[in-house]
Amino acid sequence: MSLALPPTVTLNDRFARELAEMAIPWRAEEVSDPQLLVLNGPLATELGLDPAWLRSSEGLRLLVGNLVPNGATPVAQAYAGHQFGGFSPRLGDGRALLLGEVVGTDGHVRDLHLKGSGRTPFARGGDGLAAVGPMLREYVVSEAMHALGIPTTRSLAVVATGRWVRRETLLPGAVLARVASSHLRVGSFQYAQAIGDVELLGRLADHAISRHHAAAAEAEHPYLALFQAVVAAQASLVAQWMLVGFVHGVMNTDNMTISGETIDYGPCAFMDAFDPGTVYSSIDHGGRYAYGNQPVVAEWNLARLAEALLPLFHDDQEEAVALAVESLGAFRRRYAAAWSAGMRAKLGLPDGADEALTAPLVNELLTLLQENHVDYTGFFRALGAAARGDAEPARGLFLDLAAFDAWAQRWRALNPDADAMYRVNPVYIPRNHLVEEALAAATNGDLDPLERLLDAVVSPYDERLGLERYAAAAPEDFGASYRTFCGT
Ligand code: AMP
Ligand code: MG
């Protein structure tokens, strides 16, 4: 049976053309027997791609990079980056490709990008490949984040390649097709800075303004306005991570976007019991990227962005630094405001609630959660019932009942709105034990657990009968020793 050719898939090559110094034209490795593991039908439709066609053999060839539409120029993107604090002037897409930009049915331009598509000139010692498990992890967690309303890259599909990938063991290989409003990173600017090309830096900044922060073009100082817009977007993003208990795990500057979307789901995980020191990544020995450090790390990364942009801020270095410092100062204010507003919402308190009353209430709650090893997500969901008068589900999570009762009495006195709480406190997140279960099954060829988990997490606020185990905390024997791996 032969299927019709694609209903014209148009991939633009704007990045490849405008920023050729940062784009190496490249092709994905041939995949002889691609097998679709998961396809995001609604996202495909948003992009103007027919899901039925994407499932066809031609569609699968597009999803692994072997079918390149006319006019497209797949490229490996160059970027630099601070990894765990150490600077590498040349990282780049070692196992990824930007296929091109797609204009969705909503008119928005988005990158279509592959991960695990073979070695590129940036591969260094890497094999250019990715395993099924880590690519499905990115798919599940990024789609869960999107459903939670948190800016993120999206996942269009994961296709098994039929190849074996050597990690600690031999694992089945896969390619993830990912969609992002762009793949510009802090590290992209660091790359232009590192090669000392100020003209390129300016062109990159113009490109970023036009794709993400158009209002900056109208500002008196467009490049400073760009920086301020990124500071604002990241302050808001990291506040949202913190509110939902997300630990990115590898917040290197090459993994921080200019758009303000979450990117590069490697050793990421959702925190179970509340503890600011939570670290899941097997390579994060010092806890640099612990849950509680994320705001400070984001600010540090933004300081690196400012450094890269200095030549665009002012010809005089001292003046440039002063402008950068002043603009970066907004991060803490914006982060604190976004986080506090989010916490009030989680507690069902109105946005205008008296900060002098709510701030100590929130701080005491966090101390209680930590001391009592309370499941973070489960607690806030259970607290909705407490707002309706049934405190038992929340109360039962604490060892120190008297301390919880005293706290709850003060909180109830502020008249929390239960309905509002159910709208912001998810019941289903991709819990670590469920993600592991789903990935292990998928690696062995059983996609059912993955599909059930996806079904739960893409409607995170909508509690459904039969999904109880997706709302439950991790089993006792799971938590403390849980580690995630980068999959590289
Ligand atoms: P990540 O930690 O996934 O953000 O990747 C950091 C850097 O390592 C990027 O330059 C990646 O392209 C590169 N990289 C990661 N895994 C591989 C691999 N298996 N083969 C080649 N390059 C890789
Ligand atoms: Mg990365």
List per-residue pLDDT tens for the chain, 488 residues long: 445 455 679 999 999 999 999 999 999 999 999 999 999 999 999 999 999 999 999 999 999 999 999 999 999 999 999 999 999 999 999 999 999 999 999 999 999 999 999 999 999 999 999 999 999 999 999 999 999 999 999 999 999 999 999 999 999 999 999 999 999 999 999 999 999 999 999 999 999 999 999 999 999 999 999 999 999 999 999 999 999 999 999 999 999 999 999 999 999 999 999 999 999 999 999 999 999 999 999 999 999 999 999 999 999 999 999 999 999 999 999 999 999 999 999 999 998 889 999 999 999 999 999 999 999 999 999 999 999 999 999 999 999 999 999 999 999 999 999 999 999 999 999 999 999 999 999 999 999 999 999 999 999 999 999 999 999 999 887 866 788 876 55
* Distance from residue 324's CA to the centre of ligand 1 (Å): 30
> For residue 51, how many other CB atoms are within 10 A of its CB?
16
Q: Residue 433: helix, strand or coil by DSSP?
A: helix
Instruction: Report d(CA 91, CA 95) in Å as an integer.
Output: 11
- pLDDT of 38-80, one tens digit each? 999 999 999 999 999 999 999 999 999 999 999 999 999 999 9
Q: Which ligand is nearest to the CA of 180?
A: 2
The token pair at 385 is 């019932």
Distance between CA atoms of residues 362 and 365, nearest Å:
5
At 176, which helix (H) or strand (E)?
A: strand 170-180
pLDDT of the residue at 2: 45
pLDDT at 139: 98
Question: Which residue owns the Cα nearest ligand 1 atom 16?
Answer: 488
Query: Locate tokens 């331009």: which residue?
Result: 109
**Which residues belong to the active site?**
254
Enumerate helices (H) and strands (E) in the chain, giving the number of each: 19, 11
Q: For 384-433, what is each residue's pLDDT tens digit?
A: 999 999 999 999 999 999 999 999 999 999 999 999 999 999 999 999 99
Distance from the CA of 264 to the center of ligand 2, in angstroms? Answer: 5
Cβ pair 16, 75 in contact under 8 A = yes
| CB-based contact 355:337 (threshold 8 Å) | no
Nearest Cα to 397, choosing from 431, 370, 425? 370
Residue 32 CB neighbour total at 10 angstroms? 8
DSSP helix/strand/coil, 32 = coil
The answer for 238, left when phi > 0, alpha when psi is -120 to 50, beta otherwise, is: alpha
Q: What is the DSSP string of 239-257?
A: HHHHHHTEE-S---GGG-B
CB under 6 Å to ligand 1: residues? 91-96, 122-123, 126-129, 250, 254-255, 264, 266, 486, 488
Contacts (Cβ under 8 Å, ≥6 apart) of 219: 225
Closest ligand 1 atom to the C-alpha of 91? 10
pLDDT at residue 486, as a whole number: 64
Q: What is the pLDDT, as a whole number, of residue 483?
A: 85
d(CA 126, CA 333): 40
Atom 22, ligand 1: which residue's CA is nearest?
94
pLDDT digits (tens, 9 = 90+) for 206-237: 999 999 999 999 999 999 999 999 999 999 99
Q: What whole-number distance in Å separates Cα of residue 202 and Cα of residue 205?
A: 5
Q: CA-CA-CA-CA torsion for 336, 342, 346, 350, nearest 10 degrees? A: 100
pLDDT of residue 487: 56
- pTM metric for this prediction: 0.97
